[in-house]
Chains A and B, each alone.
Chain A
């Protein structure tokens, strides 16, 4: 069982829809991450939240809007997406310090844009 829970597992949406991806962890981690992964490619960093504050935005288009309501929850709000945004979206969490602890990943949300 994964300790990072992502919902939904699959999402199909039109280009004019608004939807949200959700990520939850209860490990007391203070850093949370969104990665985008295209088929047969490595994950690419989108956003980093550290202690509930956005610390890194890797020049992600504004049609992706992250939100961290509390230390356990991370959302990714989607609006007016393009077909090239179809991908697997992975959430991860870590202690958020420079220690040795690894990131823990969720199972991802597979997003398809029609």
Chain B
């Protein structure tokens, strides 16, 4: 079974600053996908960014980017120019490319991000 580890239960960043959330995973599969989801207090899970394992290029979505190190099985999220609206729980998630997984998500424990003015 794959495991996803987020070693930072809580992080804090000042507005306009940059913060990096860490995520490592363990798998023996070669075909998989990685995601970062954000869950604000409103509780909806919102996709932040995604990465295909076979792509070496790091994904970028506006202020959000990842540092994907496949050999190290690391998938960290960088948030630049942090905004108050970025405050939320951030979950790293693994999805197998195998059909018998149902393509379900396996989540890390999450990192609670606090953004201070």
Contacts and interface: CB of A to CB of B under 8 A. Distances in A.
B107 interface: yes
Contacts of A50: 102
Interface residues on B, range: 20 to 34
Interface stretch (A11-19, A37-45, A66-74): A37-45
Greatest chain A CB density within 10 A among B35, B44, B89, B106 is at: B44
Contact of B102 (A44, A55, A110): A55
Nearest to A96: B103
Nearest to A95: B103
A48 interface: yes
B47 interface: yes
A88 B99 contact: no
A94 B106 CA distance: 15
Interface of A: 2, 31, 33, 40-45, 48, 50, 55-56, 88, 90, 92, 94, 96-98, 100, 102-108, 110
In the A-B complex, the 5 residue pairs with the closest CB atoms: A48-B102, A42-B107, A105-B45, A56-B102, A102-B47
